Amino acid sequence: GQNIDQPTEMTATEGAIVQINCTYQTSGFNGLFWYQQHAGEAPTFLSYNVLDGLEEKGRFSSFLSRSKGYSYLLLKELQMKDSASYLCAVENSNYQLIWGAGTKLIIKP
């Protein structure tokens, strides 16, 4: 079967750091995407990991461990505008995306 797990909701404080985890079990794996989705809007691309390790892009970093079926998105220096849902998606062997249900991140002042 195919399964992608993310926490449903997380709360963090403005200026802090938060880590959003994603674990997966899928039939075939090519890479892993993270997308951001503000309420009522379309998802937008954040990162793509294909190799193990950490990819840093400004305040956002994404980590992948293929052997453990695990990824995380790290958000630093949190801002109020970071309040959104964060979607983890695995690219399977057919290059189709299998999506997690998303993690709703609430930022408090």
User: Does position 26 bind other proteins by CB under 8 A?
Assistant: no
Whole-angstrom Cα distance, residue 21 to residue 49?
14
> Does residue 70 bind other proteins (CB under 8 A)?
no
- Bridge-based pairing of strands 103-108 and 9-13 is parallel
Stretch that binds other proteins, among 11-19, 55-63, 64-72, 88-96 (CB under 8 A): 88-96
Residue of 89, 103, 105, 107 that binds other proteins (CB under 8 A): 89
Cα radius of gyration (the chain): 13
If one counts every other C-beta atom within 10 angstroms of the C-beta of residue 66, the result is: 15
Interaction site with other proteins (CB under 8 A): 4, 30-31, 33, 41-45, 48, 50, 87, 89, 91, 95-102
